[in-house]
Amino acid sequence: MTTNKNKFVGDYPKIGIRPVIDGREQGVREALEDQTMAMAISLKNFLESNLNYPDGEPVQCVIAEGTIGGVYEATKCKHLFRKENVGVTITATPSWCYGAEVMDIDPLNIKAVWGFNGTERPGAVYLAAALAGYTQMGLPAFSIYGEDVQEASDTSIPADVQEKLLKFAKAGVGAIWLRDKSYLSLGSTSMGIAGSCVDPKFFQKYLGMRTEYVDMTEIKRRIDRNIFDQAEFEKALTWTKQNCKEGKDVNPPDKQRSSKEKDELWAFVVKMTIIIKDLMNGNPQLKKLGFGEESLGHNALISGFQGQRHWTDHYPNGDFSEAILNSSFDWNGIRQPLLVATENDSLNGVSMAFGHVLTGKAQMFSDVRTYWSPNAVEKATGWKATGKAENGFIHLINSGSSCLDASGQQTDDKGNPVVKPYKEITPEEAQKCLDATTWPCAVDEYFRGGGYSSAFVTKGNMKMTMSRINLVDGLGPVLQIAEGYSIELPPEVHAKIDKRTNETWPTTWFVPKLTGKGAFKDVYSVMANWGANHGAISFDHIGAELITLASMLRIPVCMHNVDESKIFRPSAWNSFGTESSIQDMHACKNFGPLYGK
C-alpha cells in the first residue's frame, strides 16, 4: 500500500510561464503570436511531464493569460501569478521584446529567461538585453539558450535546452518548496554541537522558513496523558514486532534489561515515533479525541530531536523514531519520508532537505566518522585495499538516524542497488529493507535510558552525494558537496573495523570522487576539509543540482567535486570574476539572501 497526503498548509507552488513578445502591432506582434504561445505551451507540457514535487505529485505550471508585450500585460501576469502561488518563472520568447517593460520584477520569484535560437527574429538579442536588465536591477536570472539554430516553425525543445530547463525548474521548485514551512526543534542544543544551536535568521532569510521550538518534555506529556491515536499505536506496535528484528545486546550482563523491560522500551519508542510525526504535521484524529491544539502540528518540513543527553540519560533514545520517520515506509505503508535530524543538528537537517526536495527520496544522516587509509586498513585487518577502496575510504556511521532505504535493498531495472522516490518503491523492496535491518539494544554507556538503534550495511556501488551547510561568522552559510560511491568490504574486514566504532549502528563505507587537486586531491583531504562532524547523504549524484539550488538561495559553495561544465548559476555570476568559486562567493554576498539582508 502506498499512502501520501499533502501534509503542508497552502496550495502547491507553481511554475509561471511568461510568453513575451514584440509589442509592435500592425504586422510584427500578429506574426509572432502563434509561435510565442506555442513555445509557452510546449514548455508547460514538457515540465509537467518530466518534473514532480518532492511528494511525488506532478509539477503544475501556469501560463500568462496572453502574450506579454508591455508593462500593462506584465503587471496583469504578476497579479495572476500571485493568485496562483507561483514562485518560479520562466520567460520565453522567439523574438526581440522591450526588455525592462516585460520583465518579471517580483524579487521573490526565481527567474529564468529562455531565448529561442532562430534566425527570423532576434530571440537571443532579447535574451542578452533582458539578462543585462535583471543583473542591473539586482534580480539574478538564469540564461537558457540552445546551441543549434532552429526553424521558426519548430516547436520542439532541443536536448541541451531541456537539460537546462529541468535543472533550473527542479532546483527552483525545491527552493520554493521550503518556503513558509518550519524547522521544528525538539529540545535544544545537543552536547554543544554548533549545528543544533538553531539560527532563526538563517532559516528566515535564506530559506523563507520558520523555526519552531518544543521542549522534549512535550513528548513525555503526550505519552503520560495518552495524547496520541491509540488505534494507530496498536497497529504500529504490532507492525514493529513483526518487522523490526531485535538485534543482539552488546551491553555487559549487569547493564542488560529483562524481556519485560525491553518490551516496555519498544512500546515507548513506538509512541515517540507517532508523537514526533504528529508534532511535525498534525493529526486530525487528535481533534476527535479532544486535543484540538495538538491536532494542528507545526507545518514542519524538518525536525530535529536533541536527545543527548538530557533525554537519553533517562529515557529511550530517538534512534528508532528518527530511522523510521526518515524512511519511505512504516506501519501505514509506503509514504513520503519525513526529515528528522539527530542531535537536533538543524544544519544537517537543512542539507537533508536540499537532497530531498531535489530527488523526492529518503535521506541519510551520518557522522563523518573515520578516514581509513590503505595502510591503516592493512595494519588492522591484513587486507590490502583494492578497487574503489585502494585510496582509502570514509566510515559514515551514526547511532540511528539513517533511513532504512540506505541499506540498498531497492533496485533499478538492471538490478543495481538504488534508493527510489517513495512512489516507485514496491512493497517487496520495503520489506527487504526491513529484513536487512536489525535493532540492537542501545549501548548503555551512550544511552542510559535504553532504546534501539538500527543496524545495517549499505550495499556497494551506489551513487552518493554527501553535503553539509555550515555557518561562518562574517560570511554566512556555505555549502560543501562531495559526490562519490558506497563500497563493500570483505565481510571479515568489515567486521573487524566496524566493531572498532560500534557494530550496533548502520554503516556506510564511502569513497568520494577525486579530482587530484584541492580538497579532492585524495580521500584524506576530503575528510580533513569537511566542515562539521555530520553529513547528509542523498543516493544519487546531485552535486550540480545542489549548486544551482544554492545559487538561488544565495548560499555559496565552498567545496565540491562537480565537473565545471555541469554548473548552472544565474548569468549575473559572470560579472564577479573568472573563477567559479570566487564568482559564487562574491555574487552571493553582493545580492544577499533571497528573503532579505
| 182 neighbors 300 (Cβ within 8 angstroms) | yes
Cell reading at 374: 590503505
User: Is 552's pLDDT higher than 90?
Assistant: yes
Beta bridge partners of 503: none
Closest listed residue to residue 383, CA positions, set 527, 494, 461: 494
Q: Average pLDDT, stretch 513-530?
A: 97
Number of Cβ within a 10 Å radius of residue 528:
10
259 burial (CB, 10 Å; 0-12 / 13-18 / 19+) is exposed
| 53 neighbors 37 (Cβ within 8 angstroms) | no
State how far Cα 304 lies from the chain centre.
15
State how far Cα 198 lies from the chain centre.
18
Instruction: Please tell me what DSSP assigns to residue 571.
Output: G
Cell reading at 134: 535583471
For residue 22, give the 3-state DSSP assignment. Answer: coil
From the candidates 73, 367, 429, 483, give the one annotated as an active-site residue.
367
Q: Which parts of 210-318 fold into alpha helices (H)?
A: 217-224, 230-243, 259-281, 284-288
Q: Which parts of 146-258 fold into alpha helices (H)?
A: 159-178, 200-202, 217-224, 230-243
- The answer to whether residue 378 is catalytic is no
Q: Average pLDDT, stretch 534-551?
A: 98
Q: Average pLDDT, stretch 586-592?
A: 97
**What pLDDT does 116 receive?**
76
Q: Average pLDDT, stretch 456-473?
A: 98
**What pLDDT does 551 receive?**
98
1 pLDDT band (50/70/90 cuts)?
Answer: very low
Number of Cβ within a 10 Å radius of residue 508:
28
| Mean pLDDT, the chain, integer | 95
pTM for this prediction:
0.96
State how far Cα 264 lies from the chain centre.
35
Cell reading at 218: 512535550
Q: Average pLDDT, stretch 39-53?
A: 97
102 burial (CB, 10 Å; 0-12 / 13-18 / 19+) is buried
Could you give the percent of the chain with pLDDT greater than 70? 97
471 pLDDT band (50/70/90 cuts)?
Answer: very high
597 pLDDT band (50/70/90 cuts)?
Answer: confident
- The answer to whether residue 147 is catalytic is no
72 pLDDT band (50/70/90 cuts)?
Answer: very high
d(CA 417, CA 465): 15
62 pLDDT band (50/70/90 cuts)?
Answer: very high
Q: Which parts of 473-522 fold into alpha helices (H)?
A: 491-498
502 pLDDT band (50/70/90 cuts)?
Answer: confident
| Per-residue pLDDT tens over the stretch 262-299 | 999 999 999 999 999 999 999 999 999 999 999 999 99
What sign has the CA pseudo-torsion 421, 426, 429, 430?
Answer: positive
| Per-residue pLDDT tens over the stretch 142-169 | 999 888 777 767 778 999 999 999 999 9
User: Is 506's pLDDT higher than 90?
Assistant: yes
426: CB partners within 8 A, 6+ apart: none
First CA to last CA distance, the chain: 46
Position 250, amino acid: V
From the candidates 343, 429, 498, 584, give the one annotated as an active-site residue.
343
What sign has the CA pseudo-torsion 237, 241, 245, 248?
Answer: positive
d(CA 54, CA 572): 28
121 pLDDT band (50/70/90 cuts)?
Answer: low
User: Is 30's pLDDT higher than 90?
Assistant: yes
Considering only CA atoms, give the Rg of the chain.
25
Instruction: Please tell me what DSSP assigns to residue 338.
Output: P
d(CA 278, CA 7): 11
**What pLDDT does 441 receive?**
95
Instruction: Name which residue leads in pLDDT, 27 or 174.
Output: 174
Cell reading at 94: 522567439
User: Is 4's pLDDT higher than 80?
Assistant: no
